[in-house]
Amino acid sequence: MRIAGIVAEYNPFHNGHAYLLEKTKELHGGCEATHLVAVMSGSFVQRGEPATLSKFDRAKAALAGGVDLVIELPVPWCLSSAEGFASGAVSLLEAMGCVEAISFGTESGDLSPLKKAVTIMETPRFSTLLKYYMDLGSAFPEAQQKAVAEIAGNTVSQVLDTPNNTLAIEYLKALNRLQSNIAPFTVKRYGAAHDNMIPLGNTASASYIRSLFESGRLINALPYMPAGCATAVSSAAENGRLPATAQALDRAVLARLRSMSMEEIGKLPGISEGLENRFYKAIRQASSLEELETLIKTKRYPLTRVRRLIWSAFLGIPAGYANKRPPYLRVLASNEKGKEIVAAAKNAVLPWIYRASQIQKLDEAAQAVWQLECRATDLHQLAFPTPLPCGADYTTGLIRE
């Protein structure tokens, strides 16, 4: 048995994801994994928006696509920066005590330049330069790239140009911080580029597929997903669970934010350097989510950061979680091989959660994360074409295959 971990959002699961799983299982030149565990975002995703499908439907699609065990990444880490997102997910894989490799897609398909960038980014000089460029007004990603370029040149810094490479670097940094023995393995991204709105062969970006969902063209999206995943998505659509959109929650979000005090805003994750003043002023002027985002964003505060801040405010997520480890291993879905993974994780350092009643046995900190998760799920239920009831975290059982 060789267990590999994958950090994913599957928003939705598509042919590009299936290709990564195939390469991770490949015996010659691959990771040679026999069992796959995915740490998956829940109701909201790292780009700062509601997931297009419920986490339960996405977990079901993940099993259909070849994953054996799906573990939920709790919402405070889902709506964190790339560093917090990666750190939370990798720490869950490490906590299992049985994961031997972590597999991820990159634009480079080569670990060497990524590792070189990580080595540079862990030096005192990098930290000094990062602060210098941020003080000059650069957004964090831009400041990070400038600092690496000044130390090692443009060839190395270019790996920070693309989103999958950037996230891969955060996985490597997290492995280093944890002093983990989990081996990194990367696969060159296959097919359509990240966020590209033009399909390439039988592959399309998740952004393009979501645009088809939102325009009522589900039938056009299905060829870009493995057959089993397409069936799961079609079933969700037939039952009113596709697509969930930010626009459906537009006024609910504005109502929540307008009721917040300056003090409450100041306690949100990602608030710094007077951003609370800009945020407070914007929520009193904006008449839509889109306008609110436009009023807040600047070169220093890019759109994805602003969106994460808005949804954290809506969901009531306080600052401080990104530097912590998620407090439990919640299983959303499993097949027979998934059971074998759990059996191999007999030395896991976090408790396993299969049903809601088990949360009551955990400490207050874990229960607080669970309550945030339940709130996120309940509010996500309002984002579908027809709002759905509360309580899905209590009424939806473990998904099995």
Residue 169 domain-assigned (yes or no): no
Residue 57 domain-assigned (yes or no):
yes
Q: Tell me what pLDDT residue 29 has.
A: 78
Same domain, 308 and 373: no
Residue 361, domain member (yes or no):
yes
Considering 268, 288, 315, which residue would you say is the last residue of a domain? 315
More confident residue, 300 or 20: 20
Whether residue 351 sits in one domain with residue 289:
no
Kind of pairing between the strands at 183-188 and 101-106: parallel
Would you say residue 310 lies in a domain? Answer: yes
For residue 191, the model assigns a pLDDT of: 80
How much is the pLDDT for 30?
82
State whether 329 and 352 are in the same domain: yes
Question: Does residue 272 surpass a pLDDT of 90?
Answer: no
- pLDDT tens for residues 298-336? 988 999 999 999 999 999 999 999 889 999 999 999 999
Q: Which of 141-145, 177-181, 320-324 has the highest mean pLDDT?
A: 177-181
Kindly state whether residues 122 and 16 are assigned to the same domain. Answer: no
Do 265 and 151 sit in the same domain of this protein? no
Among 193-207, 252-266, 362-376, which is the least confidently predicted range? 193-207
Reported confidence tier of residue 164, pLDDT bands at 50, 70, 90: very high
pLDDT one-digit tens code per residue, 57-87: 999 999 999 999 999 999 999 999 999 999 9
Boundary residue ending a domain (298, 315, 332): 315
Q: In terms of domains, do 55 and 149 share one? A: no
Q: Is the dihedral of CA 223, 228, 231, 237 positive or negative?
A: negative
Q: Considering the chain, what percentage of its residues have pLDDT values greater than 90?
A: 93
353: domain CATH number? 3.40.50.620
Is there a single domain that holds both residue 154 and residue 48? no
User: According to the 3-state scheme, what is the secondary structure of the chain?
Assistant: CCEEEEEECCCCCCHHHHHHHHHHHCCCCCCCCCEEEEEEECCEECCCEECCCCHHHHHHHHHHHCCCEEEEECHHHHCCCHHHHHHHHHHHHHHHCCCCEEEEEECCCCHHHHHHHHHHHCCHHHHHHHHHHHHCCCCHHHHHHHHHHHHHCHHHHHHHHCHHHHHHHHHHHHHHHCCCCCEEEEEECCCCCCCCCCCECCECCHHHHHHHHHCCCHHHHHHHCCHHHHHHHHHHHHCCCCCCCCHHHHHHHHHHHHCCCHHHHHCCCCCCCCHHHHHHHHHCCCCCHHHHHHHHCCCCCCHHHHHHHHHHHHHCCCCCCCCCCCCCEEEEEECHHHHHHHHHCCCCCCCEECCHHHHHHCCHHHHHHHHHHHHHHHHHHHHCCCCCCCCHHHHCCCEEC
Average pLDDT on 217-228 reads 98
Q: Which two tokens stand for residue 115?
A: 């590792």
Average pLDDT over residues 185-190: 92
- How many domains are contained in the chain? 3
| pLDDT score of 252 more than 90 | yes
- Claim to verify: residue 287 and residue 378 sit in the same structural domain: no
Q: What pLDDT is attached to residue 299?
A: 87
Same domain membership, residue 290 and residue 155: no
Residue 174 within any structural domain of the chain: no
> What average pLDDT is seen over the chain?
96
| Domain termination site, one of 315, 345, 364 | 315
Per-residue pLDDT of 338-397, as tens digits, reads: 999 999 999 999 999 999 999 999 999 999 999 999 999 999 999 999 999 999 999 999
Please indicate, yes or no, if residue 141 is contained in any of the structural domains: yes
Structural domain of residue 8, as residue ranges?
3-109+184-189+227-244+322-400
- Give me the pLDDT at residue 190, please: 82
**pLDDT score recorded for residue 188:** 93
Q: Is the pLDDT of residue 273 over 80?
A: no
Q: What integer pLDDT is reported at residue 394 of this predicted model?
A: 97
Same domain for 96 and 10: yes
Residue 177 lies in a domain: no
Q: For 2-31, what is the mean pLDDT?
A: 95
Please tell me whether residues 233 and 88 are part of one structural domain.
Answer: yes
Q: Is residue 46 part of a domain?
A: yes
Q: Do 8 and 102 belong together in one domain?
A: yes
